[in-house]
Amino acid sequence: MACGLDSGRPVAYRGGMHTGPATGGAVAVPDWAGRLTVRMVRPEERPRWRALMARHHSLGFRGLVGEALCRVPCVDGHWLALLGWAAAAWMCRARDR
């Protein structure tokens, strides 16, 4: 069963209770949290990342400018979200006024 960004279905939350040292009490943690990884988008995955970003971003997406980092949080190989950071523009007339 597919889940994540491509399927339109979220990863199932079955939940569980774990004791957290910071809170000293029980904290609800999804059963998939231990399998969560965040990894770089591979070069061959860039077109998919860009297409999904264009489809799902509320403001639209025209691309990242300059040096950029693209990451995907995954559970069992299913992409859950899209993360992207780009270098700030050195000079931007509208901003610098």
Q: What is the pLDDT along the chain (97 residues), one digit of tens a residue?
A: 444 566 555 544 455 544 455 555 666 778 888 889 999 999 999 999 999 999 999 888 888 888 899 999 999 989 999 999 998 877 778 877 7
- Whether the pTM exceeds 0.85: the reply is no
What residues have CB less than 8 Å from 16, skipping those under 6 apart? 28, 29, 30, 31
What residues have CB less than 8 Å from 13, skipping those under 6 apart? 30, 31, 32
Contact between 87 and 67 under an 8 Å Cβ cutoff? The reply is yes
The C-alpha atoms of residue 29 and residue 19 are separated, in whole angstroms, by 10
Domain boundaries, the chain: 34-96
CA distances from 57 to 34, 42, 54 (A): 27, 20, 6
Q: What dihedral do alpha carbons 35, 38, 40, 43 form, nearest 10°?
A: 50
